[in-house]
Amino acid sequence: MLGLLSKDIEQLRSSPDSLLPGCQYFCKARDVTTFGLLDKIWEHKGSIFRAAEKLGFQWQKYEGRDPRLEGMDDLSGTEIPLHYLFKMAAHTIHLVVFYERSGNYLWHGPLRLKRNMDRKFAPFRKLQFGRYAGAYSSSDLVHMTVDGLKLKIPRDPLQFLSAVSHSRFLECRYKEARSFFKLYPEDTSLEGIEFRKKAKALLHLAASTLHSLGVTFWISSGTCLGNTIPLPTVLYKSVRIIISSYFIFSF
C-alpha cells in the first residue's frame, strides 16, 4: 500500500480533501494488509480484539522473548507480543508490534509458530515482515489521514520500501559477550577512554556523511567494531548505518 500512497503523497499532505471520496487505498485488492504499531503508545489493547471478534475476524497472537531483558538473570526469557494476525474470509491483516530499544531505534521480532499452532491460519509466506527480526529508524514519521484513518507514515515511502530488505537485525549473543569481557576486560585508562570517544565521533560523522550521499556501508571487522562499540550493540550499529527505514503506524 505504501507504493500506492507514494504516488499521491504530496496531495495527501497538502490537501487531502481534494482526493476522490471513498476508500482509495485500503480497499485495493490484496491478500495481506500490514500495519505497524508502537507498543508504548498502544492504549486499550484488549478493545481491538473484542471489536475484531464482533466484526467476524479470527485472530492469533505470536509471542517471543523480550531481547531488552536478555542478560538479566531474573527476567531473561520473558515473552512479549510480537505479531498479531486477523483473518476474515481470504484477507489477512498483519499487525507488527514495534518496541523502542536503547540507541533510539525501533525493533520488531520474528514471527515463529509454536507447537500446536495452526500453520494454515494465514498465508505466512506472503507476509512481508516476520521472517526475521528487523531494526528501523524511529525518526521521519509524519501524521496523515488516509481513507479516513489517522496514521503515521514514512516521510519517503519509496525509500522505506527499498530499505526493508536491509533491515534484518541480529541479536547480540550476550552470554558469549560476557565471557569475552571476563577474559579481555575493557581498557579503562584515560587513553583508552579518549580513544573510544574520538573513534565514536568519527564513526558518527562517517555514517551521517555517507547516509546523506545515499551510500550503503557497514562495519565488518577491526578495532572499531571490537573495541569502540560495546559488544552488545555492535550488530545494531552495523545494521543501523546500513539502513534508513521507517514504517507505517496506526495512530
- The tens digit of pLDDT for each residue in 182-238 reads 888 888 889 888 988 888 888 888 888 887 887 777 766 555 555 545 444 443 444
Question: Cα dist. 70→99, 167, 182 in Å?
Answer: 15, 21, 18
Which range has the worst mean pLDDT, 2-6, 76-80, 121-125, 187-191?
2-6
Asked whether the predicted pLDDT for residue 8 surpasses 50, the reply is yes
Q: Do 135 and 87 share a structural domain?
A: yes
Per-residue pLDDT of 61-104, as tens digits, reads 999 999 888 766 666 678 999 999 999 988 999 999 999 988 77
**Collapsed DSSP state (helix, strand, coil) of residue 96:** strand
Burial 191-201 (b: 16+ CB within 10 A, else e): eeeeebeeeee
Q: Are residues 62 and 148 in the same domain?
A: yes
Mean pLDDT over residues 17-30, rounded? 73
Is the model more confident about 47 or about 22?
Answer: 47
Q: 187 and 150 share a domain? A: no
> Do 159 and 180 have their domain in common?
no
CB of 36 closer than 8 Å to CB of 96: yes
Which grid coordinates belong to 173?
A: 549473543
Note whether 127 and 231 are same-domain residues: no
Chain mean pLDDT for the chain: 78
Tally of structural domains, the chain? 2
The answer on 89 and 186 residing in a single domain is: no
Domain assignment of residue 95, given as a range: 2-171+243-250
Are both 81 and 101 inside the same structural domain? yes
